Amino acid sequence: MVYNENSNTGDAKGNSVAEALTSVTQKQLDKKFKHASDFGVLTTKKNPETLAQYESAIKTHMGSTSTTQQGTYGFVKDSKVFFNSTTNNAVVLDASGNFVTGFKLSPGTQQFDNFIKNGVLR
């Protein structure tokens, strides 16, 4: 289904942050697959099916009404972090909207506290 910004139907489910994601490459999914379990992919066995599940989970995260743009990723210039306060998952996109990484933040950790306080994810 093609997303139509004038309606509430389509893959983006009406969440404007979903439009920020422009590309998810197989190379980057493969590289960051270790974080797939954070997004509900139940197996650590990497294959085309589980990579597709990971990509779908990233898109679901971006389409969630609980996901908001919040801060930057310290390792990628001009990046944007999309954080879901319900799941504590974060997805990082570069300045062009390409998927960089995504993982779960653990409340109470220095990483989580620094991100919430300063808006910088490392």
Element (H, E) at 48: helix 48-63
Q: Please report which confidence band the pLDDT of residue 10 belongs to, taking 50, 70 and 90 as the band edges.
A: very low
Query: What does DSSP say about strands 120-121 and 99-104: parallel, antiparallel, or unpaired?
Result: unpaired
CATH number at residue 49: 3.10.450.200
Structural domain harbouring 38: 16-121
Answer whether residue 100 is part of any domain.
yes
At 14 the pLDDT is: 52
User: In this predicted structure, what is the pLDDT of residue 8?
Assistant: 34
Assess if residue 107 is contained within a domain: yes
Residue 114 forms part of a structural domain: yes
**Six-digit token string for 29:** 């999914």
Task: Give the residue with greater pLDDT, 64 vs 14.
Answer: 64
Contacts of 108 (CB under 8 A, 6+ apart): none
Q: How far apart are CA 83 and CA 32, in angstroms?
A: 17
pTM value? 0.86
Q: Are 38 and 89 in contact (CB under 8 A)?
A: yes
Is 42 a domain residue?
yes
- Residue 77: CB atoms within 10 A of its CB come to 9
Is residue 8, in this structure, part of any structural domain at all? no
Domain total for the chain? 1
Over the stretch 94-121, which tens digit does the pLDDT of each residue have?
Answer: 999 999 999 999 999 999 999 999 999 9
